[in-house]
Amino acid sequence: MDNFVKKINSIHIFVSAVFLAIFLVAVITQVITRLLGIAMLWTQDVAMYSFIWSVFMGGTAMVYPEKHFAFTSLIDKTESEKVKTIIHLAIMLLMLFFLAIMFYYGIIITKRFWNYKWVNLPQMKRGWTWLCMPVSAALGCIYLIDKTIKDVNSLIRGNK
């Protein structure tokens, strides 16, 4: 399962980088066209929605390598490896709970806003924008479940 999750995470990071690149190209295009006096209104929508996707995807992509934002003061002060693992496990379960809620409500909000149109690109549905919530939450849940299984197995075997 570890190789499968690593592969998913690699794709996840790549997708996040693609959305960040789209954001940067849209912003640069917008700046250049404004300097030239050309109105390209769609670049605003593309920049905003690609940035949203990049943030959601990038945030949960960092869960797997454990490079996401974290408060480590409690774990840093603990000397027992077993207690550190238990605290880490509790934190992961809280994150899993949050991501499960985000997944559930992400589906609801995506369905609700699916047929709304983008302001400057009315042929695009806004549902694609909201889809980043359940997608990123589901991927984050996969990573956390994988890490939780590893930590529980480690505790059972007495490695930590």
pLDDT digits (tens, 9 = 90+) for 86-126: 888 998 999 999 999 999 999 999 999 999 988 888 888 99
What's this model's pTM, rounded to 2 decimal places?
0.86
Select the highest-mean-pLDDT range: 15-24, 38-47, 73-82.
15-24
- State mean pLDDT over 30-40: 93
What's the whole-number mean pLDDT along residues 148-153? 90
CB 27, CB 46: distance < 8 Å: no
Dist CA 91 CA 70 (whole Å): 10
Tell me the pLDDT band of 159, cut-offs 50, 70 and 90: low
Q: Between residues 125 and 68, which one has the greater pLDDT?
A: 125
At 79 the pLDDT is 82
Give the pLDDT score at 148. Answer: 93
The domain limits of the chain are 2-157
* Cβ neighbours of residue 81 closer than 8 Å, sequence gap 6 or more: 160
114/70 Cα distance (integer angstroms): 33
Confidence (pLDDT) at 160: 56
